Structure 1
Amino acid sequence: MASRVVAVILAVLAGASAAHGSEPWWNETQVYGTNANSGGSTGVFVGLTLIQSAAAKGAVCLDGSLPGYHLHRGFGSGANSWLVNLEGGGWCNDVSSCVFRKGSRRGSSNHMERQLQFTGIMSNRPGENPDFYNWNRVKVRYCDGGSFTGDGSNAAAGLYFRGQRIWQAAMDDLMAQGMRYANQALLAGCSAGGVSTILHCDEFRGLFPSNTRVKCLADAGMFLDTVDVRGRREMRSFFDGIVRLQGSGRSLPRSCTTHMDKTSCFFPQNVVPNIQTPTFILNTAYDVWQLQQSVAPKTADPQGLWSKCRTNHAYCNSNQLQFLQGFRNQMLDSVRGFSASRQNGMFINSCFAHCQSERQDTWYANNSPRLGNKRIAEAVGDWFLERGDAKYTDCAYPCDNTCHHLVFRGDH
C-alpha cells in the first residue's frame, strides 16, 4: 500500500504564533483535500460547558472570559472511566501575539465553537474507537496560550495569564461532575495539549486514590530543544518568552525545576524522565510542526533553500534528509530512558505528520498507520489496559508505507 498523502489546502495548521510576530501562522483550522476536519468520522457533536465557578478563582481566558469544556457522558462498562483531553493550538510568547490571540477561540470563550465533533480517540463509536468509545470523554478548551501553566497578568494589555488556575478549575469541576468516582482515567492531549499533558501528568494522578488506574497520553508533544538549520535554538527562544511572560515557572514540575532552569522544564524531553505516572508518547519522528517552526523556520532560511522541503518531504534533497535524520535521532534519544520503564508506552513512526490521535484516519481506520501490525488505537489500548507490551519505533524514512503524510500547498 502506498503512503497516504493528505493535502492541506490552507498552509496553516496548529495555532502557534510566529516566533516574533503577532499573528498565528499555524491556525489549527484544518482543511484537507479529503475528509475535512473529522478525518472521515461522523462522530457526535458535543456542546460547550462554561465553568461558572472559575471567575471567583481568577481562572479566566486571556481576555478574562470563562474557560470551558465539552463533556460526553460514558455508558455501560465505561460509565466510571474518564478520558480528559487537553486541547492544543500553539502558544503566545509576547504581548502582541497574546493580544491577537485573545480575539480568537484560542484566547476567549466568546469566540469558541459552541459544539465540537468528537473523532478519533474521542469518538463514541466502537468501530472508530474500540477501547474508549463508551468512556466519559472531555475536551478541555485551551484559551491561555501557555499550555495551562501561566499565573500572572498584564493589566496594560488587558491580558490574563491564568492557565494553571484554569487547569485546576476544570479538574475541580469535572471531579464534581463524577470524575472523583472514576475507576480508571486517562489524561491526553495533542500538540500544545501534548505538552500540557506531560507537564500536568503527575498532578492528574494526584487527583485520584492510589487504587485508581491513571495514565497519560501525549500526542505530538515532544517539542525538542534542537538547533535549526542555521545553528540557532528557535524553539528555546520561543519557549523562554512564554515562561517569562506568563509566569509559568511556578507551575512547572518541581521534579525538573529543582535541577534545571525553568525554560528547559517547558521542554517535555526534560520532564518525561521523572514522570511517575505511566505515560504513552505518540509522535512522528519528522514532526511537521517542528520542521516548519523550529528546524527550518523561515527566519533561519532567508534564501528559501528549505521552502519546498518544508511543505512537501518529497522535495527534500539528500543533505536536507540527512539533517532531518539527525532530528529523528534526537527524537529517539530523548525517549530512550523513558522507554526503558515497563509502565510506559511508545509509538514513534517515521511520518511527516502532526497529531494522530484525534483524526479518525490516523487513529483507527482500515488504512491507518501501523507499526508491528498495530494501529495507533490498538497500541494505546493494549498499553492502557495492560494487554501486552506497547513500544513501537519505526525504521527511518522512507521505509514506512502506511504513513499519512501532510503536504502543504505553498510556503508560509
Structure 2
Amino acid sequence: MANPRLRALIWWRRWSKREWAIAVVGFTIVIFIFSLLFDASSDQTSSPLLSSYDVVDLTLLHNAKDRGAFCLDGSLPGYHFQKGFGSGSNNWLLHIEGGGWCNSVASCLSRKMTSLGSSNFMEQQVRFSGILSSDKSQNPDFFNWNKVKIRYCDGASFSGHPESELKNGTELFFRGQLIWETLMDEFLSLGLSNAKQALLTGCSAGGLATFIHCDEFRDRLPRHATVKCLADAGFFLDEPDILGNRTMRSFYHDVVDLQGVAKSLNKDCLSRMESFEQCLFPQEFIKNIRTPVFFVNPAYDFWQIRNILVPDASDPHGNWRPCVLNIRTCNPHQLQILQGFRSSMLKALSEVQQIQGGGMFINSCFIHCQTWIAETWHSPSSPRINNKTIAESVSDWYFDRKAVKQIDCPYPCNPTCYNMDFTQG
C-alpha cells in the first residue's frame, strides 16, 4: 500500500463508465488527475513571500479569442504563472498538465463539461508543488525560476487542428496546436524571450505534448539559452494487450483522425511509418528529436498497465482486476507478464541510450506521474535509484553534472517505491 501521507496528498477522479466507454473503444478507461494539497508550512528562507506564494491564480490566455485558440467548448485556455526571483529571474520552467485524450465526438462532448475541455470548470487557484514548488528544500534547483502550469483543455496533447472540426458537425473546437502557439507567444512576451535556461515538462498526456513540441520550444528561445525537455509518465508504449490486440494504437488512430493531429507530428516519422498514429508513440519519434530529453517513467506505470496492457475488454471475467488495482495482489503468472511489459519499455527506451544529451529515471514503482508531487519528486522518503531522488537525477542531467541513465532493478526490488493501492477507498 502506498505511504498513508502520500495517499492523503493525492486525489483521483473516476469518470463514469459510460463516458470512458465512449472515450476508449472497447474498454472502460480511468484517468487519474493528481492534485497536491500540501502542508501550509514552508521554509521562509527559500522564497521572498509566505507559503501562500505557492497558491497560484488562473490566468486566461489574453489573445486567445482574437486568434481563435479555444478549448473544446470554445472557452479561453488558461495557465498559472509564478514569477521567478533572484538568480532564477531569467530561467523558465513550463509544466503541461495531463489528462488523457478524447477520440470521438461523443467523448469530446463529454470532456468539454470538465476542466479538461473547458476553462469554465478549472480551479481558480492551484498549489504548486514538487518541480513547481518555490520551497528550496523541496525543489533545490528550480525553486526560484519563473514557473508555469499550462492547463490542458483540447483533448489531443496540444496537437489538434481546426480543419478537422468540419467533420464532426457539432460545436467542438480542435485548436490544440493553435493554443500551444498562442501560449508560447504570451510567455515570450512575459520574459521567456530572454530566458537563459528553460525546461519544458509535462505529465502523462502533458508528457506526450512535451515530446511533440520539444524542438519547437527550443527553436522559439534564444540560441544561447540552455533548453531541455522532461517528460513524466509520457512514454506510452505501442504494445499489444494480453489478448494480442493493439488497443492503444487503435485509440490513437481515432484521436489522430478526429483532430487532424498528423500536422503536428514529426515529419520524418510520418514519412517512414505505415500509419500516422504510430508517430504519436514516443518510441517512434524520439529518434528525430534534436533537443536533449529526460524520461521519468515507472516501469510498472499503472495507467499503461490498466489501459494498454490489460484494458477491460481484454479481461471480461475480471481475473486481472485485483492486480491492476494493486500490484501486490498479482499472481506469479501476472507478474511474469508485467515483467515482460517492463522489458518492452526498456527495449523501446534503448534508443534514448544513443541520443546525445538524453537521460532517464526508470524506477520499478506502481505509480504514474511523479515529478509534481512533493513526496515523489524530492523528500526524505522519495523513491530513489542508487540513492538519488528524481529531483537530484534530473538536476544532475539538466546542469550537465553527470550522465544520468538510472534504471531500477525489477519489481519488487526497490523498498523506496510508492506503489499505489486503488483497492482502498
Give the TM-score normalised by structure 1: 0.93
Out of 180, 186, 194, the residue aligned to residue 167 of structure 1 is: 180
1:255 lines up with 2:268 in the alignment: yes
Moved more, 185-194 or 4-13: 4-13
1:189 lines up with 2:202 in the alignment: yes
Greater percentage in strand: 1
**Deviation of residue 273 (structure 1)?**
1.7
Residue number in structure 2 paired with 1:79: 89
Residue number in structure 1 paired with 2:313: 299
Aligned residues: 405
- AA aligned opposite 1:52: H
Give the secondary structure class of the aligned counterpart of 1:188: strand
Residue number in structure 2 paired with 1:93: 103
Residue number in structure 2 paired with 1:18: 20
Q: CA RMSD in A?
A: 2.3
- AA aligned opposite 2:209: S
**Deviation of residue 208 (structure 1)?**
1.4
8 A contact 1:11–1:410 mirrored in 2: no
Q: What pairs with 1:232-271 in structure 2 (closer than 5 Å)?
A: 232-260=245-273, 261-271=275-285
Moved more, 337-346 or 117-126: 337-346
8 A contact 1:150–1:246 mirrored in 2: yes
Out of 288, 293, 298, the residue aligned to residue 279 of structure 1 is: 293
Gap change, CA 1:21 and 1:389, over 3 Å in 2? closer
Residue number in structure 1 paired with 2:226: 213
1: distance between equivalents of 2:356 and 2:277? 29
**Deviation of residue 262 (structure 1)?**
1.3
2: distance between equivalents of 1:255 and 1:338? 17
**Deviation of residue 25 (structure 1)?**
4.8
Residue number in structure 2 paired with 1:231: 244
8 A contact 2:21–2:28 mirrored in 1: no
**Deviation of residue 26 (structure 1)?**
2.7
- Cα deviation 1:360-407 (Å, max 9, x = unaligned): 000010010001110000000111111112110001111111101111
8 A contact 2:192–2:221 mirrored in 1: no
2: distance between equivalents of 1:28 and 1:308? 17
Give the secondary structure class of the aligned counterpart of 1:206: helix
Residue number in structure 2 paired with 1:290: 304
- Cα deviation 1:25-60 (Å, max 9, x = unaligned): 534454xxxxx7336676611011111211222211
1:141 lines up with 2:151 in the alignment: yes
Give the TM-score normalised by structure 2: 0.90
Out of 216, 229, 251, the residue aligned to residue 203 of structure 1 is: 216
2: distance between equivalents of 1:68 and 1:337? 35
- AA aligned opposite 1:86: I
Gap change, CA 1:281 and 1:13, over 3 Å in 2? farther
Instruction: Considering Cα pairs closer than 8 Å and 6+ residues apart, tell me whether 1 or 2 has the greater RCO.
Output: 1
Q: What pairs with 1:386-397 in structure 2 (closer than 5 Å)?
A: 386-397=400-411
2: distance between equivalents of 1:133 and 1:46? 14
8 A contact 2:194–2:222 mirrored in 1: no
2: distance between equivalents of 1:306 and 1:202? 39
Give the secondary structure class of the aligned counterpart of 1:282: strand
Identity of aligned residues (%): 47
Give the secondary structure class of the aligned counterpart of 2:371: coil
2: distance between equivalents of 1:334 and 1:390? 17
Structure 2 runs not aligned, ≥5 long: 42-50
- AA aligned opposite 2:205: A
- AA aligned opposite 2:191: G
2: distance between equivalents of 1:403 and 1:82? 29
Structure 1 runs not aligned, ≥5 long: 31-35
8 A contact 2:297–2:362 mirrored in 1: yes
**Deviation of residue 209 (structure 1)?**
2.4
Give the secondary structure class of the aligned counterpart of 1:408: coil
Gap change, CA 1:50 and 1:353, over 3 Å in 2? same
2: distance between equivalents of 1:204 and 1:41? 34
**Deviation of residue 11 (structure 1)?**
6.7
- AA aligned opposite 1:240: H
Give the secondary structure class of the aligned counterpart of 1:371: coil
2: distance between equivalents of 1:271 and 1:86? 19
1: distance between equivalents of 2:213 and 2:23? 28
Greater percentage in helix: 2
1: distance between equivalents of 2:313 and 2:14? 19
